[in-house]
């Protein structure tokens, strides 16, 4: 009777014909490798689901320590809508940056359409944003649909445009 060694396991793993595993989650450090945004404008803490070329789901943990809360309604802190949309745009940026041939390419946020805010986002909330790529034309202009939810309740939804900056 023969025993299986660690070397046998390694050799078997090297000889498999399985396709490489696609990364579906990204930490804040990995996001920083993809996007140029830094504090106080790095507004995505984690990507929890990613489908290449299709969609990404990101998280923004909203804390009372955010730099905008002291000035954005001190008696009733509410995350500014423009920053909620920027958070969604950064999730979209992850999708674009991971497209083939787009490493190191920057897509600027170029427009928003049909954006609606359904509930406030406040300290203690976890904003979960789902962004889907609708179209990419000539690798220069992208259109995306996004939504953000807090505790399963829709907080924001809308369409976003991106333009490649060379």
Catalytic residues: 72
Q: What are phi and psi of 130, to 5 degrees?
A: -110, 125
Who contacts 139 (Cβ-Cβ below 8 Å, separation ≥6)? 99, 101, 102, 164
The Cβ-side half-sphere exposure at 128, using a 13 Å CA radius, reads 9
At residue 149, φ and ψ (nearest 5 deg) are -125, 150
Hunting for tokens 């070397």 — which residue is that? 7
Burial of 60 (0-12, 13-18, 19+ CB in 10 A): buried
Token pair for 6:
């660690």
Given a contact cutoff of 8 angstroms between Cβ atoms, the answer to whether 25 and 47 are in contact is yes
Burial code (b: 16+ CB inside 10 Å, e: under 16) for 1-19 equals eeeeeeeeeeeeeeeeeee
């Amino acid at each position: 009777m023969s025993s299986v060694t660690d070397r046998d396991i390694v050799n078997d793993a090297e000889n498999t014909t399985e396709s490489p595993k696609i990364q579906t989650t990204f930490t804040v450090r990995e996001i920083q490798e993809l996007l140029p945004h830094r504090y106080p404008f790095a507004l995505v803490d984690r990507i929890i689901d990613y489908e290449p070329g299709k969609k990404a789901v990101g998280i923004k943990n909203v804390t009372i320590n955010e730099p905008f809360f002291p000035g954005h309604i001190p008696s009733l802190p509410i995350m500014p809508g423009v920053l909620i949309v920027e958070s969604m745009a950064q999730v979209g940026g992850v999708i674009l940056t991971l497209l083939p041939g787009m490493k190191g390419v920057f897509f600027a946020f170029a427009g928003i359409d049909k954006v609606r805010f359904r509930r406030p986002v406040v300290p203690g909330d976890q904003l979960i944003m789902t962004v889907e790529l609708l179209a990419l034309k000539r690798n220069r202009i992208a259109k995306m649909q996004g939504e953000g939810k807090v505790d399963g309740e829709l907080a924001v939804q809308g369409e976003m445009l991106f333009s490649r900056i060379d």
